Structure formats: C-alpha cells, structure tokens
Structure 1
Amino acid sequence: MTDLASQGVLMLLWAAAALIAALGPGGAQEDFQAAAKEYGVPESVLLGVSYLESRWDTHDWRPSVSGGYGPMHLVDVNAVPEAGPHHLGDPRGDDARPMRITTTPPATVQRDERTLQRAARLTGLPTERLRHDRAANLRGGAALLAEQQRMLGAPPSPDPIAWHEAVARYAGPSFANEVFDVMRTGVERRTDDGSLVRLPATPVPAFRTAAAPNTECPATLECEWMPAAYKRFGKDDYGNHDRLRTEREIDYIVIHDTEGSYAGIPSLVKNPKYVSWHYTIRSGDGHVAQHVLTKDVAWHAGNWDVNTRSIGIEHEGYLAQGGSWYTEAMYRSSAKLVHYLATKYDVPLDRAHIIGHDNVPGSHASSVAGMHDDPGPYWDWARFFDMMEAPIEGEPDGRSVIIKPDYDQHQPTFVGCKRKRPAKQCEPHGATSVWLHTEPRDDAPLVDDIGQRKTGASTYSVYDQSARASVGQRYAVAGASGDWTAIWYLGQKAWFRNPPSQPTAVPASGPLVTPVRDRVAVYGRAYPERSAYPRGVKFQEHAALPYTLKRGQFYSLGQTLHGSYLAASHFNPSKHVTVRGKLRYHQIQLGHRVMFVKADDVRVVG
C-alpha cells in the first residue's frame, strides 16, 4: 500500500471514529462529564446552564445574535454585529400625528458580557479554541461557574442545589430558576453535530423570583421596570407613547428584534423623541424589562391601528446581520411572557394574532414598501409555539394549508446577510420561510409584490418579504402539481415546493373569504365609517392598499372586528377619544402580511 493510500485509509478511520463518538454514548456527553469533573461543577448544573444557552448545539460555531459561541454561549465582544436599521420611517403610523425617526440603536456591549475573554483567562486556553472547540468551550463555561462559586466563598459542592446562587450570579436569577426547572424535568436530544446528550431528571426544588413592582409578568419570570419616557418637548409634541385611562382591547402581540444590543436599550427607551415598545428581552439570559404598561399604547408597529390594538415585544438580536441564532433562554422567557399576556387579554395563540413586525401591514399605499422585516426568517415560530403549549398543527382534508417546514432541515437560499456584500449568499441555516414562484418550477420567477416596489422583481434578500410565506401562516389552496402546492397570495397564484417526503406545509381547515365581485379593495387598517366620528375628531380616510381581490380567489380569515380609531394627540389622556363604528372588517392572510377587507365585499366559506 502506498503512503498516499495509507494516509487515505487513516483519514477514513479517523472520520469514522469521530462519527461513532458523536453518535454513540460518548461525544458531547463525555465532554460535559470531563469539564464538570475538572472544575468541580455538578454535571447536571453544567448541562442545565448549557441547555438554556444553546440547547447544547454548536450552531456550526457561528456567533449568536449577541456574539455568543458554542454550547456555553461564550460571548466575544468582537463578534457583536453593528446595529442595523430600525424604527426608521413613521413608527406611529397615524396620519393625524406623523412622526419621523432617524436614530438607530448603538451596538455597545456591557463588560459583564465578555465571558469568552474571562474564560480564556481562567482556563489558559486561547480564545480561538474556546470559540470553535466543543470540549474547550464546555471547560470555559465550567470555569466561569466555578469562579462564581469561589466568589461566594462556597466550596465546589457535588450537591446541585448548592450551586443555585452561583448560577444566578453567572447569568441572573431568572436564568438560574429556568436552569433548575430544566434539571428538575430532565431533557434528552440529539444535537446539531449528531451527539446524543441526556440530562436526567434531578430532584431539585422550584426556585422563584418575584417580579419588580409595576411590572406585568408571569410569576415564574423575573421582570425589571425600565419606564419609557412620557414628557413634553417642543411646543405641542410629546413622547414616546400614549397613556390611556382605561384598559384597551388587545388583538395582537407583535414580535420584534432590536437590531442592536440590549446595552443600548435604556438610553433609547428613555428618549422622548424616540419610539417605544412594551417589553425587551435580553438574549444572553432571557432577562425581561418592561417599559410601557400594557393598557397604554406604545409606538412600535408603524401602523397606528395595530399599535392601538397590540403589545410590542423587542428581542435582543439581528434579523440577519452577523448573528444567526437566538438563545434558548430568550425563547423560553418570550414564550412565558406571550402566553401570560395572551391569557390575560384573551388573544388566540395562533399566527393570525401572534405576529411578527414583518406581518404588520402598511397603513396606506405609500407606507407599504417601508414596513419592517423583523424578526425575519430565522425566528423559529414552530419551536416558539411549542414552548407556549400551542403547537402549530393542521387538520386533514382542509381547503387550506399551514406553512410548516422542518426548521433545522429546511435551509432555503438567502442573500444579503452581510450588509457590505448584499449579493453574497448567506450561510446555510434553518429557516421558517418558503419561496413562492409564479409556476411550479425552481427556476420560475418569484411572485411579485406590487406594493413593495414600483419597478423590479422580488429578490432572494433576507430582508425582502415579497415572495415568502412563513411558519404558522394559513393560506387557501389554489392548486397542486407534483411536488408543488399553489396558494392564493397577493391576488395571484403562488407556488412553493411541498414534496410528500419532506413537506413544507400541512393540510388545514378554517374559514376562508372570497370576493363577491371583481376588484375588491384591501386595507391596512380597520377604521370606522365617517358617520361614527364625533364633532372635533377628524375622519380618517379608508386608504386602500395597492392590491385587489377578484372572484374565485380565497384567503384565510383570521378574525372579524368592527372599525375603531383612537384619536390621541394630547399629552393629557383625558382628551383622547376612541371612535367605534358599525363597519365590519375581516382580517385575512393576503400575503406575508395580514390585511383587512370590508365584510360586505366578501363571502365567508368553510
């Protein structure tokens, strides 16, 4: 055998050994055991902390949205992306009181987030190895936990309960409580590198941390009160939200990402000339800060009608720039918060009511193209709803489908993740979106969104929602051809690949609407009829969007409501006026965004 052949055989044997180690009882499990033993940390504690950080995944060693690497989410300050564009345009979306914002969040990093550099000092390992080697990454996390235990003056006890305070110092009390919840129930999963990892159920108590006064959070979630600014500036203006004297009806909970780091949030939310939202959730530990009471109206959606009927939650992160994954801690905190708010306000846990900022419609034709795109295709909606115990499921023999590709296996092509190289293809990554084509072929053009641009076609940009359908959204079936399914989308048939062997949608049932005539108008807000407005309140035009529906088309019905409008242009809440009308609207899934049609213009079927 030649030397070259021998080397080839050895390489194959090494590859096979690595695969066996990953798939067998060793692999990551042994790395956890070794790191825990080296630093005197109970293995269950190390496993619990890592699960909350990353679900034990390596994420192909790409940084998270907050610059964290590997199973222990060791944060490298140099990996935190630059801030992206956010809250530009008119976040209020009210014709009666337009607001223009040009500020973008700063991407600063707090000192206590530099965990990768600290781990390097504690272990003596180079940062590059901590950033890309699983065993080293776990050793770094174990060293950080052991350091916290030493700082408490406590010995490295084998009792997991003795480590609760150290975990709380490591990443916050709420994070520690979640870690011990995971330990108590146990978990097992195969990680993204093929390792089977087990955390057996551990007999530990349930720890609870009381939320701060004034906050509206579930009892199991630590919340901080970080109030948004509410004060006058200039002659007649004020910011950055509207206070109400009474409770309001809530129809939506809107999921956002910050496009900047959490460290910049306090200065932004306290700026009366900036915008507002109700909550922010930090990536590294799932910490929640509330800024606006839920009965009050925050300026976050870019559509005044949606603002007045929604709660906005920002998540530390970036749609695409730099980071590519959100932590388990953030998902769990968000799921608990959304479930609590949905229960409090009787908001259905479905994608017609729990929406992304990228699902909010423009208020009128001129604002459609400037609407936001976050949280984008990398937010795992299916996993999010599973955590809320409201899994996204279909029903057989329905006339519609719910989009539901397998997040990890479904890796569609995107471009534009690097702002300085917008034509460069993004790294392969699990995603929630399917591309929509004009015909059942991969090489067919993408469907066009006439409201998004005056010239040019839809693109594969990660920021372009024109030809995408997302997990949980329900659409009426318009046809089928081989492995392809067609849906009604923006007034046209749109085709997506949906093979039986690896489906990207599930059959569903539910009410649909169909136009009673050709050229039915579509709206981005459900405002009342003219006669409903009292003296002194200006009538708000029923501004049609640049889409029309024709006979024979069908769209899923999300909810039915009467038109309403909140006239809020005074610093004194007692001068606000809520206009309620008799005109009925149906909310439909027209494209990637939800929109409205007048009930008299359509017929409900199914």
Structure 2
Amino acid sequence: MPRPFRPVSLEPLRRRSKRTAGLAVLALAAGLLAAAPAEAAPADQQRQRDFAAAAREFGVPEHVLLGVSFLESRWDFNAGTPSTSAGYGPMHLTDLREAGTGTHHDEGGEDPRGDDARRAKLPVTPPPKPPPPGLQSIDEAAALTGQDVATLRTDTTQNIRGGAALLAKYQREAGDWYDAVARYSGEKDAAGARSFADEVFDTISKGVSRKTDDGQNVTLAATPVSPVRAQAENPKTECPKKVSCLSVPAPYQELPNNDYGNHDKADRPKSQKVEYIVIHDTEGYWDTAMDLVQDPTYVSWHYTIRSSDGQIAQHVPTKDVAWHAGNWYVNAKSVGIEHEGFAAKGTWYTEAMYRTSAKLVGYLARKYDIPLDRAHIIGHDNVPGTIPSTIKGMHWDPGPYWDWSHYFDLMGAPLAGFGRPGSPLVTITPDFATNQPAFTGCEAGGKPCPARGSGSVVLRSEPTDSAPLLKDIGLRPDGSASTMDVSDIGSRAETGQRYVVAERRAGWTAIWYLGQKGWFRDARTTSPAFGLVVTPKPGLATVPVFGRAYPEAEAYPANVPVQQVVPLPYTFSAGQRYSLGTMLGSEYFSATTFDPADHVVVKGKTRYVQIQFGHRIAFVRADDVRILPAF
C-alpha cells in the first residue's frame, strides 16, 4: 500500500494548526489570493467571491477550498440536480434522501453476454444497497452553518459555506489539511480517500480556470507544493501508477447444469486484439456493484470506479473476456469499465471519477494500442444489437449527461480535431454547458428532466424545430418516430462521433444517420474533421449492415457451430456516406465450456469496416463498399 501523500509545503500549517485551531489565515508557498472588494467584482465573479468569503469565515486556505470543490463538481451548480452519488452544488454536499435509483439495468432484455451459441444470460439484479453513511454530509453542514438542508442544496453561496465549514471541522479533528481533504471524500477506505486528496493537491499545484455551467468565471491560481509521494504499487492489478487500485476478483467458477460464471478465460492480445474500451455506469452504488461482480451466477466487467473519490477496483484480468456489453463480438474485443452512478436520476458525474477514469483509459489505450477516439472509446449506448431481435433491449448508459468532451480533454486527446473548413466530415462538438436538450423521463415517464448540459444532439427529420424526430426501425419496428425520452437514442448524435454531411441549409445541417437525413441547428454544434468515409460500391443499390463482424461459414472448424451473420433491419443506400471508424478482420471467440482448453478463436477471410451508422456503431463488409477521403 502506498504511503500517504504529504505536501512538504503544508508542514508549517500542521505545526501552527496544532497550536491554534482557530487560525483564520493560513498560507501555502505562494500565499492566499486576496479577494476583491465586493462592490468592485463583476456579476460573473460572484462564485469566486463566495469561495474567498467562506475561506475567510471558516479559516480554510482558499486554494484548498477551491481545489476540493473543483475535484467534486468543477465549481458547477448543475441546475441544482444531484450527482450520481447524491451530491449537490459546487461543494457536493450529499443527501441520501435524494439519492438516485436504477433505470436501464433493470429494464429491457439485454443479454450482457450476447453470444448466440449459449442460452441468454438474463441475471436478475437485486434492489440496490443504500449508499454508505459517509455520503450524508449535508446534515452536518446544516448544523455547522445554521442553514436548512434545502437551502444548502439550492443556494450556491450557502453550499460553499457548508463545504468550508466541514473542511474546517475535519482539519480541527485531524490537525492536518491533507487528512481533512481526504476525509471530505466521504469514503472510509483510506487508499481511495488519499487518492482523492492527492488529486486535489495536484490541482492546486497546477492551477485551473474555467467558466462554470451557470456562467461564473472562477480561477484557482497555481500554488506550488512539493509532494513527497510514494509510487502506488497496485499489487495484482493492471492500473496506472499514482492511483488507488483495489483487486476485487470476479469468480471463474463451475455451476450446476454444465454452466459456469462469470467471465471467460482468454489470452488477449495474443489471441485477439483489444479494439474497444466500453464505458458503463452501474445504476447502483459501489457496494452493490462489488457484491454483484463477485457473484459467479451474475455477469462481469473489468473495472469499477467509485464516484466520491475515484477509487478503482479491478475484477477481471484484461487478457480475459468479461460479460458486459450485450454483444459477444464487442465483449471479446473490449475492456469494460463501470462507473458508480445513474444515467438519468442523479445526472452528473464527479470530477474525481472523470479524472481517475481518464487515467485508466489512457493507460489501457497505451497498453493495447487503442486509438483515443470515439470509434474505439465507446459508451455502452454505442454498442450495436447483434441481430434485429436484440436491438430493442440494448442498454443506453452512461447516458446523455456523460461529458465526453471533458473526458477526452483529460486524456489529452481533444475531440474537436483539425479539419478543413467546409469538410463534408464533421465531429459532433456541442458546448456541453449550454447544450440542454429537453429530455423527459429522468424520474418518471413523460416528466421533463431538469434543464442541464448534455453532449447529445437531437436530430429532426426536417430543418425545423417542430419536425418529428428520426425513425429507428430497430427500436421501433412499427415505424413510429423516436421520442425525447432520456433512454431513447434513436435520433441522437453524441459528442465526438463523426458523421458525413448530407445537406446544408441556412442555419441547419443534415447528416446521414440510419439511412436518413438527420437535421440539427449547426451553430457551434460541429467541428470539421479529417478522415475516411464509406459508401456502397457502384452498382449496389444497398449494402447490408451488421451488428457484429463474424467470419464466413467456411471458416469454422467442424467442432464449432457456425454463427449466422444476420443483417440489421436498416438500409444503407447508394449515395449515402458514413464515417469510417476502423478496418477489422472477421472473428468469433468460441468459449462455451468451463475448460479454457476448449476455447478457440475462429478467424475468417471476410473483412469488415466499422462505421458510425447511427447513435451506435455498425459493420459492413469491405467488399460491399468504397472507402474515400472526406473531400
């Protein structure tokens, strides 16, 4: 276990705080920023003034207060909605009475394994455990500030005061600002709490400035600290250094009736290249996820990341295949990462979780040579159904409130890219904070969701705001139009995805999407992109679209049942073009018995092209299409 982080420049603060817990002004190496007089500050500086005032009132170093808040919420208000771990406001004061409940994991009929060679595995998810008591901080903040709980949830000024009061109390009890920050994470697990504190003090060292989701300009000036930090050793895990990573193994175990669970032994990348990293959310709390992944009768994934502090747990070695994505082809070629939280109720993810997850994805991408783009780093909502009958049951996490743009910025791979102005290939890049689609159903069917930022762009059948949404014949075989329900991805493009422009009119752009033109207002919605596009070969009116890239029948050995390659119910017609994601060989990982000696990878001669066909990716045969530069 790594030794606790000890910022050298905080040592004088420790000695002085032991002599006088009531000290109101404390300095790190560069000292505190002086707050501007209230009457001189513009309206968009109010939050900066609130941090300064709360720091003075409760004797908290201002940069410590700013650093903690940034790691929780990036100083955002988030429309007064709870985070995925029931936290409110810039200081993420938690209130379990408003905690989220599950949606997508307890609806629909997705088989997480998604392998036609075995009977469908449809595990029944038990009711989620309540979140841990440490995540009920708002009552303590109310007692310390004299403010009621409702005010602390909805008033940013009082919310910041509540967070400052808690930090001051924790420092008085611990005698150490580092330990106070670690305790603020709300987690009893020492390694995860230290990891949170490390990230806070790293942020203080580097500094950061941004405009919040409600238009406030906030700056944390870089304040040099000199950490004395041991390298994280992470025994028995595959994780980057300098993060806390636990080993919580998923069982590989024989079960009655010739069954077994809850993953498959493999030898990747020697046996198959790992092409994808799939981002999920748990639709439950950490403790529930830990119980489920250790159940041999349940399903599995490779990693889970905790919301409050970014703690990582690894469950399945990355060389092995977990049962997580609902599509066996994708499972066999991916690593699955679950994030504690909810796709709809509880609509924002903590900065601590984003940062740790980005470090993990960057580490895995380097290890397996996976490009950092949205053709390879995909959400569960981007995984295609395997055959027509499975499309409707596929899951839609992490949902429209996952900030893909910020996530890729943290990985050092911005999604906007560099393309020629007017390029027919565009990347979806709306401004997350101001892009606020009017979704419904976050808490109850048909009820409007809170207005808040999203990476989703809603597509319409004509260039007017009143036009119906597009049709997704796989989700709605009756041919009805898609809806604004938060779970309905049938007419929705997502940040980072690339599409080909089909038409432009004044103020509107149409992209090719599921065989249709999908229209959206183009102001600040896309960025031009370089890349390749795919279109049917001359003479072909249409080409079939598939949900998996399986080999031709002749490739299967006698002891492996042939897997059918069944087209999805969509039309890819001549004249349409779609963005090329990657070129792929045809493969099927046959693993239907407990003995890994029986597992075999079938590789065919058929080549496939991955395309961004709708909200989900899809595959077409290379022999059916032309690949062209996007000029």
Normalised by the size of structure 1, how large is the TM-score? 0.91
In structure 2, distance between residues paired with 1:194 and 1:537: 59
The amino acid of 2:244's aligned partner reads E
C-alpha distance after superposition, 1:395-426 (max 9, x if no partner)? 0142211111111111122111122xx12222
CA contact (8 A) 2:391 2:474 kept: yes
Find out whether 1:243 has 2:262 as its counterpart.
no
CA contact (8 A) 1:211 1:217 kept: no
C-alpha distance after superposition, 1:320-368 (max 9, x if no partner)? 12x1211111111111111111111110011111111110000111001
- Residue in structure 1 matching 2:164, options 110, 123, 142: 142
- Residue in structure 2 matching 1:100, options 102, 122, 125: 122
C-alpha distance after superposition, 1:146-177 (max 9, x if no partner)? 3333333x2xxxxxxx5223322332011111
Flag the 1:295–1:80 CA change in 2: closer, same or farther, 3 A: same
CA contact (8 A) 1:434 1:469 kept: yes
- Residue in structure 2 matching 1:437, options 444, 454, 460: 460
In structure 1, distance between residues paired with 2:441 and 2:408: 28
In structure 1, distance between residues paired with 2:268 and 2:491: 40
Flag the 1:234–1:509 CA change in 2: closer, same or farther, 3 A: same
- Residue in structure 2 matching 1:485, options 471, 485, 509: 509
Find out whether 1:410 has 2:430 as its counterpart.
no
The percentage of aligned residue pairs carrying the same residue is: 55
1:107, distance to aligned residue in structure 2 (A): 4.7
In structure 2, distance between residues paired with 1:129 and 1:413: 26
CA contact (8 A) 1:23 1:196 kept: no
- Residue in structure 2 matching 1:555, options 552, 570, 578: 578
In structure 2, distance between residues paired with 1:314 and 1:303: 16
The amino acid of 2:125's aligned partner reads T
The amino acid of 2:179's aligned partner reads E
CA contact (8 A) 1:77 1:109 kept: yes
The amino acid of 1:232's aligned partner reads E
- Residue in structure 2 matching 1:68, options 65, 79, 87: 87
Alignment correspondent of 2:66? 47
1:138, distance to aligned residue in structure 2 (A): 2.2
CA contact (8 A) 1:82 1:107 kept: no
Alignment correspondent of 1:229? 251
Task: Determine helix, strand or coil for the equivalent of 2:427.
Answer: strand
Find out whether 1:319 has 2:319 as its counterpart.
no
CA contact (8 A) 2:104 2:396 kept: no
Alignment correspondent of 2:101? 82
Find out whether 1:164 has 2:178 as its counterpart.
yes
The amino acid of 1:432's aligned partner reads G
Find out whether 1:368 has 2:383 as its counterpart.
no
Flag the 1:24–1:511 CA change in 2: closer, same or farther, 3 A: closer
CA contact (8 A) 1:490 1:590 kept: yes
Task: Determine helix, strand or coil for the equivalent of 2:571.
Answer: strand
Alignment correspondent of 1:113? 135
CA contact (8 A) 2:427 2:499 kept: yes
Normalised by the size of structure 2, how large is the TM-score? 0.88
In structure 2, distance between residues paired with 1:327 and 1:209: 24
Find out whether 1:210 has 2:232 as its counterpart.
yes
Flag the 1:19–1:382 CA change in 2: closer, same or farther, 3 A: farther
In structure 2, distance between residues paired with 1:71 and 1:474: 33
The amino acid of 1:399's aligned partner reads P
CA contact (8 A) 1:85 1:104 kept: no
Alignment correspondent of 1:56? 75
The amino acid of 1:319's aligned partner reads A
CA contact (8 A) 1:436 1:468 kept: yes
C-alpha distance after superposition, 1:111-143 (max 9, x if no partner)? 111111222334443322322233332232223
CA contact (8 A) 1:22 1:196 kept: no
Flag the 1:19–1:320 CA change in 2: closer, same or farther, 3 A: farther
In structure 2, distance between residues paired with 1:485 and 1:104: 45
The amino acid of 2:86's aligned partner reads G
Flag the 1:58–1:544 CA change in 2: closer, same or farther, 3 A: same
In structure 2, distance between residues paired with 1:452 and 1:125: 48
Deviates more, 1:346-355 or 1:35-44: 35-44
Alignment of 1:453-472 (within 5 A): 453-455=476-478, 456-472=480-496
Find out whether 1:508 has 2:532 as its counterpart.
no
Alignment of 1:248-397 (within 5 A): 248-321=272-345, 323-394=346-417, 395-396=419-420, 397=422
In structure 1, distance between residues paired with 2:380 and 2:218: 35
1:144, distance to aligned residue in structure 2 (A): 2.3
The amino acid of 2:290's aligned partner reads P
Alignment correspondent of 2:424? 399
1:189, distance to aligned residue in structure 2 (A): 2.2
Alignment correspondent of 2:614? 591
In structure 1, distance between residues paired with 2:359 and 2:76: 22
In structure 2, distance between residues paired with 1:75 and 1:53: 11
- Residue in structure 1 matching 2:200, options 158, 179, 186: 179
Consecutive unaligned residues in structure 1, runs of 5 or more: 1-16, 155-161
CA contact (8 A) 2:263 2:299 kept: yes
In structure 1, distance between residues paired with 2:44 and 2:599: 65
Superposition RMSD on alpha carbons, in Å?
A: 1.9
CA contact (8 A) 1:416 1:426 kept: yes
Deviates more, 1:590-599 or 1:203-212: 203-212
C-alpha distance after superposition, 1:15-46 (max 9, x if no partner)? xx999856265x22332233223333222111
Task: Determine helix, strand or coil for the equivalent of 1:547.
Answer: coil
In structure 2, distance between residues paired with 1:595 and 1:461: 23
In structure 1, distance between residues paired with 2:145 and 2:178: 22
C-alpha distance after superposition, 1:441-472 (max 9, x if no partner)? 22222111111112232111111011111111
Task: Determine helix, strand or coil for the equivalent of 1:460.
Answer: coil
Find out whether 1:577 has 2:597 as its counterpart.
no
